Structure 1
């Protein structure tokens, strides 16, 4: 027999139309016999009518008849497998359906329907096994008709709510379990009825009547039932409780989410808040994270649990509630969390052990008080009914305490919840401790870097300057970007911006060394390309002396190797500007009309890496032009920190006007970089000035000793015109000595120039290439005191060289005239 024929036989054996009937009275005595029953069991009516039905069954099943009749009275009928004994003595397996038959006279009888199961495949197993599948299985089973009304269910289904099987008959899920989210379940049933496609493994999560305070999860499967013609009759479905599996999966998902979302930054307060955000509402309805004050400062807390002999200084670092701005948040972020002495949070801090209370005393006062003397709120008033408190401990150090409360969720915290809370807090505690350690190191690096950067730009008359520095974010770490403004001789000024590779304290220290070296070289009044050349030699030599060669795999390179720097010198007398760059972006220039352009500057190799000599360019700037020097962090964007080759963004930002240069500088940085950039950003902007014609006076002097007297007279006349009579005596002395020195030791034309700026500057230039040296003559020497006197009467003096010779200069203060 083929598979389809077997299914047909099975369907026929269970079809009511093919079943053979007979009647029993209330006591189980046969009262009516049919021809079909006679053919099936091979008894004549005279042999069975008036006899107990137990005589038609094998002894084993005959013993069950009283029980079956009782079940029929209770449930209104019965269906199952029995083994009958035919008239010839042979056993025959039959499917039995018993249903009440009430006659007009009110006499109760039982209608028995028998289906021969001898030819049905698969029914050779014992009746006990089949009944266990239906009645004793822990899996809930039910059948609904095409209107989704229950027509049958087993006893196991009652454990999922809805009452016993008889109370389900003829009712839909919404009537069986009011409040159940039945929409999704019935949608699955309708889909199966419509398509015939079974649904396997549908998960339903919610609360059922048997567990109203506990979220449960069930796995359901649905199959369509059809008649002989393939028409849908209803849906058969099974229900399995998978709450434990669901909760375990939820715990794993919560821990995975905690691993992704906690510790994304190296900020202590933000990390504590991330812990609260992860736990609400997936685990708790209210979470409070309180940390020791020393932790928030980045200091090292005491190792081991606290002794509890003194008040514990706790501050609220994280808070989250399902109610948003909940009224229970009397302690703001950063505020003092004053817990009552001996309260569970304090005990957790002192002992280092967790605390769990399934049911809080509703009339007990809350543990935290405000500074004004306590809020006096009970747990009943706040709606909190269950709590878990876990100390934050990492690397043997107590950092604080975390309290998890439940309000809306009626299910109290159990032991599994406590373990989950401890896992969450332990992960967060490591991140908090990392953030604390980083806070300490970052603060130290910031202090170091800010101490190495100029606190304020020096006063000078060449440019109006403003600078903006923004350190990198926590994950990247502090970098080594820097800027400087160095006043030079002759009212000139040097503008410098540089960047040291790497991050952290080492980069900040390397930046400080490099900035100091630049200032030292600037004091020598060297051209920009020579300053960078000397700086390149210095970095390479320092790296070599430390035994760290650049570009050697596996060897940590000296921090300054690979640094970038741009060096600009501006002269306010003639508006000339010269500059050179080493591995650094060229400056931008904003003309007085607002036009932005970028200097076509040959960029040399980074410092210490070797390569061709540095080249400088010179350009004339109109008064009111603005030079913008910046590090490459200003142009970096995106997660890959790539430098934007198109300078359009920077051009548009520089074109924006602002009331002041300082505000304009901040506006440019705000427009191009986030509050916490991936790389440090330094921007130095300088608006040029020109000295007026009345501030500069110069004379060409012939190489004649008699010219010394004439030079003194011209200088005296000019100082009188400037109203600087109090400087006449010292200036005559300085002019006399410098001109005399040029006549004696140099050749070529001699030029005297006086500049009135923030100081009075006297310059004498000649064609010599040797620098004068200050010496201290003996009392018997007749000469050699000239430069000594110049140094005594001047605020500072020095020599600078140019292509045709040198300039000896001396400055006198206008604010503090000589005594």
Structure 2
């Protein structure tokens, strides 16, 4: 029967992991020597042969003192041996021993008395080289001090990834006592989304043996549950001298300060990018609503989860901040959320008017001209930041946890408020966020104020422009007349386009269209003066070329303005149309049976240039024919050649079956862009048979 067959069933075989030999015993190379009661060597282990140099044949039966001890130390050795045999007390210590090669070595001994079943005594000596033992002790002491006193976290985990050793530094980092680590996994000690990935990396290192160095892990601990902490963790597999895995070593360095500094730097760069983005994207137009929406688009989602931009209604109505005795009245201009949220239902929709209770952040901003920051929204704060109980319920349902309101201040006057909130963003608003919001709000406030001012000036100019234009009757002798005026759209200013229909003696009618170069109130006023002069000159019954000559002199006195103009006189009795142009686009003549054409008039120079005579051209205008006078805003665009646009105009005029009114609407609908940058004056005259007296 072999030795392996004689082993009890409960004892694992050496190939099993539980019975693997200890590497420490192999490292110490402990020798065993059994002495009889008289001091003779009875048993001699292979390790003893290696330690002392004598083979078992050379040592067995020899007196140990004579074989191993120098003469000067033999008495002491015999005395110690006798004491052990007589008293049964163990003896341990170092003793000089003679090696077979003649050298003397200091050997560490552990001696003990043994008794067999017959009552006889033996002495068992366990020995190892003193220098080897001291080296192991030094290494162990050094390792122990390194582990316990190291400022970095150190831990050893077994093959099931359970902690077996944890140093004080790691226990302090985790905020968990050392004893509470033992026998538990990482995710049992620390809970959070970042730790399962670290435990997965541990398992991979244990399986492959490939170490992981400086893997960053971010999470929260029991001692600091409200703030993220960061660690640089390293894992490497521990192996015995046979290469078998004993477990895992874990080295942890707390890099929270570095992590927070990097986050702060990232936030600073993000703020710079956001400010640069805001400067480029906010204020691209002179439209109040669009500017407010641009501000909202910049803020969400980079700074806030949702935003609302409200402007004082008095600013929109009068251009001035007027705060009465009651609560201020706001008009909501823009609302935006980074994702669908119940909170948007709690905000006032754009275009609607609202007022807030005195403790609302918007109302406080108006009173103090200072931002209001509620970093952590408690349950009691929901009533403060909402317009009412239902709105507070919606904000709570949306998970709003941080709120801020900043004033919109332009030229020293507050014009509105921007409100921001966070729900999904985990970090609360801080003072840096407030500073960033104020900078963006200041940029937007100036643009909004400019847009409001422009709207008021534009409204005044448009009002003046319309008041100076005539309201012609659709019926004149021998003519059906239709006219339209469309001011410049969007953020463009009203110009100086005009038209006029002036009745003369003899059933004749003056048809005029002009365009004053420039825009705004002054251009509209100049247009009014030229139109008045045109009406006065028409009463003098002068040919069109002479009328333009007089208008040219008048325009020169209105320096620096110049204008273009087409002046025509139609006589229904003769069917003749006399026309002259001063630098204006040619009229369109539409005659039955012929394609529409541009009248070949001498272009002439614009009014106000002077020194160039004008010419009058006479054409026939029969019943059913149409004459179209227009300004450049109808056909000129920034992208299309003028020849193509004039071609489009001619195609739209054919066939001339529509009435003058219908043709006006058709041309404006097909040629006029909704955001046209220039005014349009359009005048269409359709010849009709002259009624009997």
When residues 500 and 598 of structure 1 are mapped into structure 2, their CA distance, relative to the original with a 3 A threshold, is same
- Give, in angstroms, the shift of residue 378 of structure 1: 5.4
Q: How does 1:570-581 map to 2 (within 5 A)?
A: 570-581=570-581
242-251 or 257-266, which moves further after superposition?
242-251
Aligned match for 1:345, one of 362, 384, 397: 362
Q: How does 1:115-126 map to 2 (within 5 A)?
A: none
Quick check: 1:162 aligned with 2:195? Answer: yes
Number of the residue aligned with 1:527: 543
When residues 54 and 675 of structure 1 are mapped into structure 2, their CA distance, relative to the original with a 3 A threshold, is farther
Number of the residue aligned with 1:691: 690
Give CA deviations for 1:106-126 in whole Å, capped at 9, x if unaligned: xxxxxxxxxxxxxxxxxxxxx
Is contact 2:330–2:416 with CA below 8 Å preserved after alignment?
Answer: yes
RMSD: 4.5
Give CA deviations for 1:46-97 in whole Å, capped at 9, x if unaligned: 89944475734998x77514336889995159xxxxxxxxxxxxxxxxxxxx
TM-score, scaled relative to structure 1 = 0.56
Q: How does 1:170-249 map to 2 (within 5 A)?
A: 170-171=203-204, 241=259, 242-249=262-269
When residues 298 and 31 of structure 1 are mapped into structure 2, their CA distance, relative to the original with a 3 A threshold, is farther
- Give, in angstroms, the shift of residue 164 of structure 1: 10
Q: How does 1:88-99 map to 2 (within 5 A)?
A: none
Number of the residue aligned with 2:295: 275
Is contact 1:497–1:631 with CA below 8 Å preserved after alignment?
Answer: yes
Give CA deviations for 1:432-479 in whole Å, capped at 9, x if unaligned: 111121122111111111111124446523321222222224544221
- Give, in angstroms, the shift of residue 657 of structure 1: 6.9
- Give, in angstroms, the shift of residue 382 of structure 1: 4.1
When residues 358 and 29 of structure 1 are mapped into structure 2, their CA distance, relative to the original with a 3 A threshold, is farther
User: Distance between the aligned counterparts of 1:575 and 1:219, measured in 2?
Assistant: 96
User: Distance between the aligned counterparts of 1:660 and 1:44, measured in 2?
Assistant: 129
- Give, in angstroms, the shift of residue 171 of structure 1: 4.0
Is contact 2:493–2:520 with CA below 8 Å preserved after alignment?
Answer: yes
- Give, in angstroms, the shift of residue 296 of structure 1: 1.4
Is contact 2:500–2:511 with CA below 8 Å preserved after alignment?
Answer: yes
- Give, in angstroms, the shift of residue 632 of structure 1: 1.5
User: Distance between the aligned counterparts of 2:424 and 2:314, measured in 1?
Assistant: 35
610-619 or 49-58, which moves further after superposition?
49-58
Aligned match for 1:284, one of 304, 318, 342: 304
Number of the residue aligned with 2:377: 360
Is contact 1:314–1:337 with CA below 8 Å preserved after alignment?
Answer: yes
Number of the residue aligned with 2:145: 67
User: Distance between the aligned counterparts of 1:325 and 1:465, measured in 2?
Assistant: 56
Quick check: 1:486 aligned with 2:485? Answer: no
| SS at 1:64 equivalent | helix
Give CA deviations for 1:551-602 in whole Å, capped at 9, x if unaligned: xxxxxxx1433x1001111112232111010011010122245832111111
When residues 479 and 642 of structure 1 are mapped into structure 2, their CA distance, relative to the original with a 3 A threshold, is farther
User: Distance between the aligned counterparts of 2:231 and 2:686, measured in 1?
Assistant: 73
Corresponding residue pairs, total: 523
Aligned match for 2:533, one of 517, 530, 540: 517
User: Distance between the aligned counterparts of 2:230 and 2:616, measured in 1?
Assistant: 75
- Give, in angstroms, the shift of residue 673 of structure 1: 2.7
User: Distance between the aligned counterparts of 2:229 and 2:470, measured in 1?
Assistant: 64
Is contact 2:495–2:678 with CA below 8 Å preserved after alignment?
Answer: yes
Is contact 1:268–1:435 with CA below 8 Å preserved after alignment?
Answer: yes
TM-score, scaled relative to structure 2 = 0.66
Is contact 1:294–1:300 with CA below 8 Å preserved after alignment?
Answer: yes
Aligned match for 2:314, one of 290, 294, 310: 294
Higher helix residue share = 2
User: Distance between the aligned counterparts of 1:52 and 1:683, measured in 2?
Assistant: 113
Aligned match for 1:507, one of 498, 508, 523: 523
Q: Which ranges of structure 1 fall in alignment gaps of 5 or more residues?
A: 1-21, 34-42, 78-98, 100-134, 139-152, 173-192, 194-201, 221-237, 544-557, 696-755, 757-819
| SS at 1:272 equivalent | helix
User: Distance between the aligned counterparts of 1:517 and 1:212, measured in 2?
Assistant: 82
| SS at 1:595 equivalent | coil
Is contact 2:475–2:481 with CA below 8 Å preserved after alignment?
Answer: no
Q: How does 1:423-502 map to 2 (within 5 A)?
A: 423-457=439-473, 459-502=475-518
Is contact 1:328–1:382 with CA below 8 Å preserved after alignment?
Answer: no
When residues 611 and 52 of structure 1 are mapped into structure 2, their CA distance, relative to the original with a 3 A threshold, is farther
Number of the residue aligned with 1:673: 672
390-399 or 159-168, which moves further after superposition?
159-168
Give CA deviations for 1:419-439 in whole Å, capped at 9, x if unaligned: 111111111111111112112
Quick check: 1:637 aligned with 2:637? Answer: yes
Is contact 2:220–2:229 with CA below 8 Å preserved after alignment?
Answer: no
When residues 367 and 46 of structure 1 are mapped into structure 2, their CA distance, relative to the original with a 3 A threshold, is closer
Quick check: 1:55 aligned with 2:130? Answer: no
User: Distance between the aligned counterparts of 1:214 and 1:574, measured in 2?
Assistant: 94
| SS at 1:679 equivalent | coil
Number of the residue aligned with 2:654: 655
Give CA deviations for 1:305-357 in whole Å, capped at 9, x if unaligned: x5x74221211111112345965155332211221233222111111110011
| SS at 1:516 equivalent | helix
When residues 73 and 301 of structure 1 are mapped into structure 2, their CA distance, relative to the original with a 3 A threshold, is closer
| SS at 1:454 equivalent | coil
User: Distance between the aligned counterparts of 2:154 and 2:613, measured in 1?
Assistant: 110
| SS at 1:328 equivalent | helix
User: Distance between the aligned counterparts of 2:667 and 2:105, measured in 1?
Assistant: 110
When residues 642 and 313 of structure 1 are mapped into structure 2, their CA distance, relative to the original with a 3 A threshold, is farther
Is contact 2:327–2:356 with CA below 8 Å preserved after alignment?
Answer: no
> Which structure has the larger Rg?
2
310-319 or 422-431, which moves further after superposition?
310-319
When residues 652 and 377 of structure 1 are mapped into structure 2, their CA distance, relative to the original with a 3 A threshold, is farther
When residues 485 and 492 of structure 1 are mapped into structure 2, their CA distance, relative to the original with a 3 A threshold, is same
Is contact 1:298–1:436 with CA below 8 Å preserved after alignment?
Answer: no
- Give, in angstroms, the shift of residue 252 of structure 1: 1.9
When residues 389 and 444 of structure 1 are mapped into structure 2, their CA distance, relative to the original with a 3 A threshold, is same
User: Distance between the aligned counterparts of 2:517 and 2:232, measured in 1?
Assistant: 58
Aligned match for 1:259, one of 279, 300, 303: 279
Quick check: 1:599 aligned with 2:599? Answer: yes
| SS at 1:675 equivalent | coil
- Give, in angstroms, the shift of residue 650 of structure 1: 1.8
Is contact 2:308–2:347 with CA below 8 Å preserved after alignment?
Answer: no
Q: Which ranges of structure 2 fall in alignment gaps of 5 or more residues?
A: 1-21, 32-46, 48-103, 109-126, 160-169, 174-185, 234-252
User: Distance between the aligned counterparts of 1:521 and 1:536, measured in 2?
Assistant: 12
| SS at 1:360 equivalent | coil
Give CA deviations for 1:694-714 in whole Å, capped at 9, x if unaligned: x2xxxxxxxxxxxxxxxxxxx
Is contact 2:501–2:511 with CA below 8 Å preserved after alignment?
Answer: yes
User: Distance between the aligned counterparts of 2:155 and 2:231, measured in 1?
Assistant: 30
| SS at 1:636 equivalent | coil
When residues 663 and 330 of structure 1 are mapped into structure 2, their CA distance, relative to the original with a 3 A threshold, is farther
Is contact 2:346–2:392 with CA below 8 Å preserved after alignment?
Answer: no
